[in-house]
Amino acid sequence: MNLILLAADLVAISVLLLAFYLPRRGRRELVSSFLVINVGVLAVATALSNGTIEAGLGLGLFGVLSIIRLRSEELTHREIAYYFASLSLGLLGGIGGIPVVWGLGLMALVLAAVAIGDHPRVSDHTVGADLILDRVVTAPEVLMARAAELVDGQIVELSVVRVDTVNDTTTVRVRYCPIRAALPPGHTTDEPVDRRSDRRLAR
């Protein structure tokens, strides 16, 4: 057991969540998930590296659990990146047989990848939403104009999910860059809104 790598993992996951994820408009409810995942992987990887169970079997089990976890709730690509960063840091901290210098260097590499890849200057953060329009609309330019009235930002992608001619509704899925203006207290861009009889279900 390498106590230096164990301590380094706890420092790294703290930096990942407190310095990168939360300040960049992260979902607070996922912080506990990322932290528990990291510490759980760290604990089991440490036990596997000091026990008689094959490490390959343990990593395979983690792969299955990861798939189940990712399918249990829809996560954005950004959140999946933080999810696997948490897994990677836990494995690097708990796996045996790796030199301390290599372990610390690889942890720093994971944090650097997140810091650069998720930096606002590298990739603009987008928000996904399902819009239910109160009439059937099929013309792309009309859909874009109607959706632009319902979202607080610039639409970067729009696709039709469902056209219901019986109930006279159209469901579209959009991704947009939210406006960085200050919001009223208690209001976030992820809140469902009711505007002009149309509905937005934030994702």
- For 65-120, the pLDDT digits (tens) are 555 555 555 677 788 889 889 988 988 888 877 888 999 999 999 999 999 988 87
Same domain, 38 and 65: yes
Residue 77 lies in a domain: yes
Residue 122 lies in a domain: no
Domain with 91 in it: 3-117
Same domain, 65 and 113: yes
Which residue, of 55, 84, 117, is where some domain finishes?
Answer: 117
Which residue, of 99, 117, 135, is where some domain finishes?
Answer: 117
Cα 49 to the chain's mean position, in Å? 29
Same domain, 97 and 149: no
Whole-number Å distance between alpha carbons of 148 and 39 = 42
Domain count, the chain: 2
Interstrand relation of 153-164 and 198-202 (parallel, antiparallel or unpaired): unpaired
Same domain, 96 and 191: no
pTM over 0.75? The answer is: no
Q: pLDDT (tens digit, 9 = 90+) per residue, 153-165?
A: 888 888 898 999 8
Please identify which residue in the block is written with the tokens 């792969």: 63
What is the structure's pLDDT at 183? Answer: 44
Same domain, 21 and 98: yes
pLDDT category of residue 193 using cuts at 50, 70 and 90: very low
Same domain, 110 and 21: yes
Q: pLDDT (tens digit, 9 = 90+) per residue, 14-62?
A: 999 999 998 886 788 889 889 988 898 888 888 777 765 555 655 665 6
Q: SS3 of 50, please?
A: coil
Cα 122 to the chain's mean position, in Å? 17
User: Which two tokens mark 40?
Assistant: 């759980």
